[in-house]
Amino acid sequence: MTLHQDRFSFQGQIWKQHLKPGDRAIDATCGNGHDTLFLSGMGLSHLYVFDIQKKALEETKKRVGEENISYHLECHSTFPGVEENIELIVYNLGYLPGGDKSITTRVNTTLKSVSKGLTLLSRGGLMTLTLYPGHTEGKREKEALLEFAKTFPKESFEVSHKTWGEKMTAPSMLLIQKAL
């Protein structure tokens, strides 16, 4: 199994254990739609999908469809149109695979998005962020998010961090769960 497959398997298991039919979720950075496709098979009442690139949304729509899904060609920093009581928010940070590598998620908007997302999560809700520090902005994002997570009150959030591989550029996942 490759590191990519291992990461996807790990996050898929986490999502399956956490979600139940009728829940609502957000794919904050849909990319080519792999996470959206996985989540669309979970019996959700609604899935909100965001990306700043039209190409990403088009690819995701082709792969997944539109049943119980709303697509937003917008930055994830404010989650327009999303109401509270979200059970899961997923991020796959970095750039669009096969796309323009100069267009990446950015520290400032990602921090805003995480802050807003934490207010949308229901009690017990989960946020997963896949981090890719193999490029400059990805490294900055990882460092900033790990520092930001240290500021969360322990009675309000449980935080864990999993890394795949030994290199400093290896992908990792930050998991943040809101207390019950």
**Would 155 be classed as within a structural domain?**
yes
Q: What separation in angstroms does the CA of 101 have from each of 126, 138, 148?
A: 28, 11, 25
CA distance 63 to 54: 14
Model pLDDT, residue 144: 97
75: Cβ contacts below 8 Å, ≥ 6 apart: 50, 52, 109, 113
What kind and span of H or E run contains 89?
A: strand 86-92
**Would 14 be classed as within a structural domain?**
no
Model pLDDT, residue 113: 97
Model pLDDT, residue 7: 58
**Would 83 be classed as within a structural domain?**
yes
- The number of domains in the chain is 1
CA distance 49 to 150: 28
What residue ranges of the chain have pLDDT lower than 50? 3
Model pLDDT, residue 139: 95
**Domain of 173?**
21-178
Model pLDDT, residue 96: 81
**Would 147 be classed as within a structural domain?**
yes
**Would 3 be classed as within a structural domain?**
no
- CATH number, residue 106: 3.40.50.150
**Would 16 be classed as within a structural domain?**
no
Two tokens at 102? 């100069």
**Would 113 be classed as within a structural domain?**
yes
CA distance 131 to 93: 6
CA distance 180 to 122: 8
**Would 50 be classed as within a structural domain?**
yes
User: Facing residues of 169 across strands?
Assistant: none
- pTM attached to this predicted model: 0.93
